[in-house]
RNA sequence: UGACCCAUGGUGUAAUGGUAGCACUGCUGAUUUUGGUUCAGCCAGUUAAGGUUCGAAUCCUUAUGGGUCAACCA
């Protein structure tokens, strides 16, 4: 039986959970927990949003509460339905289902308008008709107090009339705005007569041409939370300074009592990538990547296409924790999470990425036999499969060296190696072309050494085991080797352009890889392990004629480290 | 030269006045028909100085460092 979260004293809580548990114990809001994920539909979601999604939906789940999906769509200039659909897809892919229908801040435009008029009638808001430059100039700076607008003391009647005419479309964009009467000397810039409404003659993706005035974020978010009965309104640190305004608007508009509480946490930063919408957009627009879902992008679409599982992403979100201090998570933690998940789930396959032909001289020319190999040693239920084996096979070019360092235990001239699932072979020579490149390796095999035969020869201890593919039955496939997009830990935080730190080797396309015949049964997005190499998934571009794999992540490679040191 | 927020190993995160722990990374070693997995172990931390206290990572003060705030963006 699951214990209630409140009884689980053993697990430590993050500061938001601690706060929520205190609220539940104090029976605040009747002990309800209701969160929301409030994206603006003006771009694609990235791994930072995934942290927020896991947090908000995860909290609701943990405390038997609800989590709304609410699109913060108050600016028709930037927003589009295209994004709404992709955001819903991403949230669902991560494995979460929102409470009821998707909600929209634009659903509350009528109520917000009523509230705006109330502010005017109460003498707490006024119509300003200065230019944005004038307003900015008189707003002061964080260290210099602002000055009051010359339009600040109009009568309520005049303000109401002007505001209604704004709504009626009598003015052009930017001609007039509605401002709240805050405090132009406040240390908090957001309290210096914040703008409530602006004129935008633009069709809205949901309300069409009903409105030509649109509320600002600050005049929308808290009220939306209030209307939805949100208890804990979780957002990132940069909204901390907005909190006084968030609370102030509600205090002006609604009866004392229930209030949603804004709580801020530190956004996710990941090493070796950029997260800002602007920079990601630039990568797409200038074709440094193939699109928003390029497998190198930190977007949820990119991560999905790369082959990450939702489970791995959720586990990652769990492990990075939630706190208020700025942080940079090492991307190797994310790689760890996906390896750990895929190790349990991914079927093993033999694929030779950089093939070189190997001929077994003492193996009959016409013979093909079938050998049995495990699908996944970590999952006995996954069973075994048969692979063809014959005189000519492909092995990895890296798995042979004419002059090898001491700890190299793959194939060398005169050396022995085991072909996984098949026989022990011994190298007898190499053939090279005119330019000195190896074109063929020759070996002899030990006929008694077949794997699983139980013979003494088959049980001999051999240091190296290679993956291989039967040449006659090999299927050529394309493999896209992805690596980190940037070769600097913090490409966005440098003096010069972040694009100077793009990793030139972030994508290598190899089109002559040789796969075992069973790859034919794979479908788009299937995830597998290429034995000894890494985890791969079948790309969207794949067709039955041309199978294409994306490398999700390499296997940990102890040898690569040793070799690099030599 | 203002207000607010933050400060624990390389990274991230716990310890809620009472033994500084966990994970990732890195490094050893064992096991292994994946140089994978698994297992065992190691390196490494409370920004500083005062104060309160029997006792401080935790509370207070100051300093230092980092972050946020001056869109008719969210």
| Residue in A21, A40, A89, A478 annotated catalytic | A40
Distance A325 CA to B64 C1' (A): 17
Average pLDDT over all residues of chain A:
96
| Residue in A210, A277, A407, A546 annotated catalytic | A277
> Is the Cβ atom of A27 within 7 Å of strand B at any atom?
no
Q: What is the pTM of this model?
A: 0.96
Catalytic residue at A124? no
Full DSSP string of A262-273: EEEEPPP-BTTS
Percent of chain A with pLDDT over 90: 96
- Tell me which residues from 469 to 528 on chain A have a beta carbon below 7 angstroms from nucleic acid strand B: none
Distance A380 CA to B54 C1' (A): 59
> Is the Cβ atom of A203 within 7 Å of strand B at any atom?
no
Cα–Cα distance measured from residue A35 to residue A23, given in angstroms and rounded to the nearest whole number: 14
Cα–Cα distance measured from residue A287 to residue A424, given in angstroms and rounded to the nearest whole number: 48
User: What does the CA dihedral A17, A21, A23, A26 come to, rounded to 10 degrees?
Assistant: -170
- Tell me which residues from 97 to 116 on chain A have a beta carbon below 7 angstroms from nucleic acid strand B: none
Residue A374 has pLDDT above 70, yes or no: yes
Judge whether A447 and A494 are in contact, CB under 8 Å. Answer: no
- Tell me which residues from 360 to 379 on chain A have a beta carbon below 7 angstroms from nucleic acid strand B: 376-378
Compute the average pLDDT of residues A423-439: 97
> Is the Cβ atom of A425 within 7 Å of strand B at any atom?
no
Residue A56 has pLDDT above 50, yes or no: yes
- Tell me which residues from 215 to 244 on chain A have a beta carbon below 7 angstroms from nucleic acid strand B: 216-217, 221, 237-242
- The separation between CA A79 and the C-alpha centre of its own chain, rounded to angstroms, equals 21
Judge whether A242 and A455 are in contact, CB under 8 Å. Answer: no
Residue with tokens 């492909």: A394
Residue A1 has pLDDT above 50, yes or no: no
Q: Which of A280, A450, A285, A429 is nearest to A367 (CA)?
A: A450
Cα–Cα distance measured from residue A463 to residue A448, given in angstroms and rounded to the nearest whole number: 18
Catalytic residue at A40? yes
Q: Which helix (H) or strand (E) holds A480?
A: strand A475-482
DSSP letter assigned to residue A237: G
Cα–Cα distance measured from residue A37 to residue A225, given in angstroms and rounded to the nearest whole number: 11
> Is the Cβ atom of A6 within 7 Å of strand B at any atom?
no
> Is the Cβ atom of A408 within 7 Å of strand B at any atom?
yes
| Residue in A62, A139, A267, A397 annotated catalytic | A267
Compute the average pLDDT of residues A19-40: 97
Distance A242 CA to B69 C1' (A): 9
Residue A7 has pLDDT above 50, yes or no: no
Residue A483: which region, alpha, beta or left (left: phi > 0; alpha: psi -120 to 50)? beta
> Is the Cβ atom of A325 within 7 Å of strand B at any atom?
yes
Compute the average pLDDT of residues A13-32: 96
Compute the average pLDDT of residues A392-420: 96
Residue A153 has pLDDT above 60, yes or no: yes
- The separation between CA A181 and the C-alpha centre of its own chain, rounded to angstroms, equals 41
- Please give the pLDDT value at position A11: 72
Q: What is the 3-state secondary structure (H, E, C) of A174-213?
A: CCCEEEECCCCCCCCHHHCCCEEEEECCCCECCCECCCCE
Cβ-based neighbours of A462, under 8 Å, separated by 6 or more: A416, A417, A418, A424
Radius of gyration of chain A measured on its C-alpha atoms: 31
Q: Which of A539, A545, A479 is nearest to A513 (CA)?
A: A479
**Which nucleotide, over all strands, has the C1' atom closest to the CA of A557?**
B35
Distance A532 CA to B41 C1' (A): 26
Distance A293 CA to B7 C1' (A): 37
Q: Which of A456, A461, A445 is nearest to A371 (CA)?
A: A445
- Please give the pLDDT value at position A10: 57
- Please give the pLDDT value at position A495: 87
Q: Which of A195, A179, A167 is nearest to A127 (CA)?
A: A179
Strand partners, A232: A261
Q: A503: which 2 tokens?
A: 């990793």
> Is the Cβ atom of A345 within 7 Å of strand B at any atom?
no
Residue A299 has pLDDT above 50, yes or no: yes
Q: What angle do CA A195, A198, A199 make, to 5 degrees?
A: 165
Write down the ipTM of this complex: 0.97
Q: What angle do CA A269, A275, A277 make, to 5 degrees?
A: 150
Q: Determine the straight-line distance between the first and last CA of chain A, rounded to whole angstroms.
A: 54
Distance A438 CA to B20 C1' (A): 57
- Please give the pLDDT value at position A2: 33
Residue A5 has pLDDT above 80, yes or no: no
B chain positions with any atom within 7 Å of a protein CB:
1-8, 10-16, 21, 23-27, 33-38, 66-74
Between helix A109-121 and helix A243-253 the angle, nearest 10°, is 80
Cα–Cα distance measured from residue A556 to residue A420, given in angstroms and rounded to the nearest whole number: 19
Cα–Cα distance measured from residue A520 to residue A375, given in angstroms and rounded to the nearest whole number: 15
- Please give the pLDDT value at position A145: 96
């Amino acid at each position: 039986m699951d214990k209630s979260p409140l009884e689980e004293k053993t697990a430590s809580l993050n500061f938001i959970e601690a706060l929520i548990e205190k609220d539940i114990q104090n029976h605040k809001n009747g002990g309800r927990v209701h969160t929301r994920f409030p994206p603006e539909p003006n771009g694609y979601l990235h791994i930072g949003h995934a942290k927020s999604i896991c947090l908000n939906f995860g909290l609701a789940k943990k405390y038997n509460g609800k989590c709304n999906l609410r699109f913060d769509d108050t600016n028709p200039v930037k927003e589009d339905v295209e994004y709404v659909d992709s955001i819903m897809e991403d949230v669902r892919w991560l494995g979460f289902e929102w409470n009821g229908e998707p909600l929209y801040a634009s659903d509350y435009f009528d109520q917000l308008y009523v509230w705006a008029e109330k502010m005017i009638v109460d003498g707490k808001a006024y119509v300003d008709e200065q230019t944005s430059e004038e307003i900015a100039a008189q707003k002061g700076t964080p260290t210099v107090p602002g000055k009051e607008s010359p339009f600040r003391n109009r009568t309520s009647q005049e303000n109401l009339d002007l505001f209604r005419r704004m709504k009626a479309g009598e003015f052009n964009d930017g001609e007039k705005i509605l401002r709240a009467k805050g405090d132009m000397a406040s240390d908090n810039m957001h309290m210096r007569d914040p703008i409530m409404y602006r004129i935008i003659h633009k069709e809205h993706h949901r309300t069409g041409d009903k409105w030509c005035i649109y509320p600002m974020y600050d005049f929308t978010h808290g009220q939306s939370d209030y209307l939805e009965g949100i208890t804990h309104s979780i957002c990132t640190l940069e909204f901390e300074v907005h909190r006084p305004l968030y609370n102030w608007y509600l205090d002006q508009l609604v009866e004392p009592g229930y209030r949603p509480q804004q709580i801020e946490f530190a956004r996710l930063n990941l090493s070796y990538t950029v997260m800002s919408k602007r920079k990601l957009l630039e990568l797409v627009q200038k074709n440094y990547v193939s699109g928003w879902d390029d497998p190198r992008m930190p977007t949820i679409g990119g991560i999905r296409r790369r082959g990450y599982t939702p489970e791995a992403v959720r586990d990652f979100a769990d492990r990075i924790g939630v706190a208020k201090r700025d942080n940079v998570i090492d991307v190797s933690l994310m790689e760890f999470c996906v390896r750990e998940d895929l190790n349990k789930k991914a079927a093993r396959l033999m694929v030779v990425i950089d093939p070189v032909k190997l001929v077994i001289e003492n193996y009959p020319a016409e013979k093909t036999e079938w050998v049995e190999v495990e699908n996944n040693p970590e999952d006995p239920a996954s069973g075994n499969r048969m692979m063809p084996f014959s005189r000519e096979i492909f092995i990895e070019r890296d798995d042979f060296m004419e002059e090898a360092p001491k700890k190299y235990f793959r194939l060398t001239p005169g050396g022995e190696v085991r072909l996984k699932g098949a026989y022990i072979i011994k190298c007898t020579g190499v053939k090279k072309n005119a330019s000195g490149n190896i074109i063929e390796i020759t070996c002899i095999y030990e006929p008694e050494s077949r794997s699983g035969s139980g013979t003494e020869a088959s049980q001999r201890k051999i240091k190296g085991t290679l993956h291989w593919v039967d040449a006659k039955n090999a299927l050529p496939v394309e493999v896209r080797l992805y690596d980190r997009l940037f070769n600097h830990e913090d490409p966005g935080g440098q003096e010069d352009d972040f694009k100077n730190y793009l990793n030139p080797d972030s994508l290598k396309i190899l089109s002559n890889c040789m796969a075992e015949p069973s790859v034919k049964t794979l479908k788009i997005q299937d995830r597998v392990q290429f034995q000894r190499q890494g985890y791969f998934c079948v790309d969207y571009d794949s067709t039955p004629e041309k199978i294409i794999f994306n490398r999700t992540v390499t296997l940990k490679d102890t040898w690569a480290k040793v070799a690099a040191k030599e």
